[in-house]
Amino acid sequence: MRRVFAIALNTFKETIRDRILGVIVLFALAMIAGSLWLASISLDEAGRMMKDFGLVAVTLFGLVVAVFVGASLVHKEVEKRTVFVIFSKPVGRAEFLWGKFLGLCATLFVVVAAMGAFLFATTWYVAHAPSASILLAILLIYLQLVVVVAVTMLFATFTSPILASVLGVCVFVAGQLSHNVFSLTKLGHGPLVKVASWVVFYAVPDLSAVDVKASVVGEDVARWSSVAFWSAYLAAYVVLALLVASWAFRRKEF
Amino acid sequence: MSTTIERLPESVRRKSSAPIIEIRDLCKTVSVGFWARKVEILRGITFSVNEGDVFGLLGPNGAGKTTTLKVLLGLMKATSGDVRLGVSGLADLGYLPENPYFYDYLSGAEFLRLAAQLCGVEGVESEARVEALLNDVGLSDAADIHLGKYSKGMLQRIGIAQALVNDPQLVLLDEPMTGLDPVGRVEVKAIIQHLRERGKTVLFNSHILADVAELCTRIAIMKAGVVIWEGHVEEALAGASDLEQFFMQRVTA
């Protein structure tokens, strides 16, 4: 466990000291600040507009970090041959992957927390009242991004970083449409479409189940017990993805 | 640490002890390219390294020296053959890769602390060891400088320091003199000599044969994936003016 922590801490230092991360966060903050202008021209919908626009910004910029850093994290170590040093120490392949994953999750937490805190403050300023639900929505966005990190790292163990990034984005998009895929399993024409829909539904993490943006902006009412259940499901999905990634990584030669 | 290199008396150099590395009929085949063409890198190599030896693994580029070290470390799996290590796993082993590259964003001291943690060396012991190693490799003044700003020679020295952070019994060094200026070479040779004096076993690859002759007790020469000669340095020097001449005779034969 100590070795996992050491690798996680090193990965956190590596990613948090990367200047590109600062640029991404600045862009995100600028976009959230820009939504103040949008809010100012919207009639009686300023708070809703801010939340909607802001949560999308947090999701998109968080996704950029999760996918692009997640895809290159392990590959960079192999390419630059730092894995030679790591694996010449008594470090297991699974320990290495878990360490990298936890380190990136810590960085992602800092990034999402920075964007979330700014969004919380700006919506408070616009709506003249704090919104606790926005904090919960941001926490669930973070959970979705953690799933994307795990899946992208899994792809990165057996493919190139670019392909892993593309696949990571695809899984995120498919995960957001999971409910539509579920509808296809009932309404799809022909057994092939139905079987394919079931396969996609079970293989892709159901990220839409923990998406509470609609309830935060007042378009829907979130069923929190179901959100709690699906959060546990996503946590299990992360563990499974990393177990498969560890198995694939164990077979790799350097 | 002294930077003068002295050869130990022959009686000491020839002192035989238990093998710490035993390699028998080791083969490694890899798949290359889109059509997974099979290429044999190691074709049944056999040699052993005794405890306390400074062993030189020589050979032209592509002979399979680095692959042999990677198999020893478990970075690659042997296709067939036996590899036996007389140490208690990676916890008692140190390794310096060829042309090492480390984390640019860490300082020298941070990197050594990470290496120590990965070896299970923590707390006060870790701090003491990091400080001593930085001193040994002459990088105390650069301890807080990021590795991205280190010269090639400094990287080589911090690489050696990380290999020794767990005070291993067996040290594997892949081209430790490459890219070093004369001062750096003398310093690295002094480190190897110091390890020898402490009874450590060192296996290293090098193309700088004068250094090999100066430091090693035994050598093996590899060519195209096989060991073509193994023995004491004195035996090699008996029939040739220097190790370079002996090496050329064997490799071009």
Cβ–Cβ contact B94 with A under 8 A: yes
Query: What is each CA distance from B107 to A12, A22, A219, B184, in whole angstroms?
Result: 15, 21, 51, 20
Contact indicator for A160, A146 with CB cutoff of 8 Å:
no
Quick one: which of B49, B47, B133 has its CA closest to B96? Answer: B133
Sequence-distant (≥ 6) Cβ neighbours of residue A45 within 8 angstroms: A39
Average pLDDT score over chain A: 88
Sequence-distant (≥ 6) Cβ neighbours of residue B81 within 8 angstroms: B23, B24, B25, B26, B27, B42, B44, B45
Per-residue model confidence as pLDDT tens digits over B76-129: 999 999 999 988 888 899 999 988 888 888 999 999 999 999 999 988 999 999
Contact indicator for B90, B147 with CB cutoff of 8 Å:
no
Cβ–Cβ contact B95 with A under 8 A: yes
Report the number of secondary-structure helices (H) and strands (E) in chain B: 9, 9
Q: Give the C-alpha separation, A40 to A37, whole Å.
A: 5
Contact indicator for B106, B146 with CB cutoff of 8 Å:
yes
Q: What is the pLDDT of residue B5?
A: 36
CB contact under 8 A, A88 and B103: no
Which structural domain range is residue A170 located in? 2-250
pLDDT band at B64 (very low <50, low <70, confident <90, very high): very high
Per-residue model confidence as pLDDT tens digits over A80-115: 889 999 999 999 999 999 999 999 999 999 999 999
Tell if the pTM clears 0.80, that is, is over it.
Answer: yes
Q: Give the C-alpha separation, A223 to A125, whole Å.
A: 28
pLDDT band at B12 (very low <50, low <70, confident <90, very high): very low
Of A17, A84, A89, the CB nearest to B118: A89
Element housing B202 (H / E): strand B201-205
Which residues from B are below 8 Å from A83, CB to CB?
75
Per-residue model confidence as pLDDT tens digits over B138-148: 899 999 999 99
Q: Which of A88-92, A202-206, B77-81, B220-224 has the lowest mean pLDDT?
A: A202-206
Quick one: which of B69, B104, B62, B76 has its CA closest to B207? Answer: B62
Of B75, B89, B106, the CB nearest to A84: B75
Q: Which amino acid is at A188?
A: G
Structural domain count of chain A:
1
Q: In what order do the strands lie in the sheet with B170-174?
A: B93-96, B170-174, B201-205, B54-58, B218-223, B226-232
Cβ pairs bridging A and B (under 8 Å): 72
Which residues from A are below 8 Å from B163, CB to CB?
88
What's the gap in Å between the CA of B51 and the closest CA on chain A? 20
Query: What average pLDDT does range B30-58 have in this prediction?
Result: 93
The CATH architecture one would assign to domain B1-18+49-77+169-253 is 3-Layer(aba) Sandwich (3.40)
Phi-psi region of B167 (alpha: psi -120 to 50; beta: other; left: phi over 0): left
Sequence-distant (≥ 6) Cβ neighbours of residue A15 within 8 angstroms: A21, A69, A73, A103, A104, A107
Of A85, A90, A253, the CB nearest to B76: A253
CATH 3.40.50.300 positions along chain B are 1-18+49-77+169-253
Contact indicator for A10, B162 with CB cutoff of 8 Å:
no
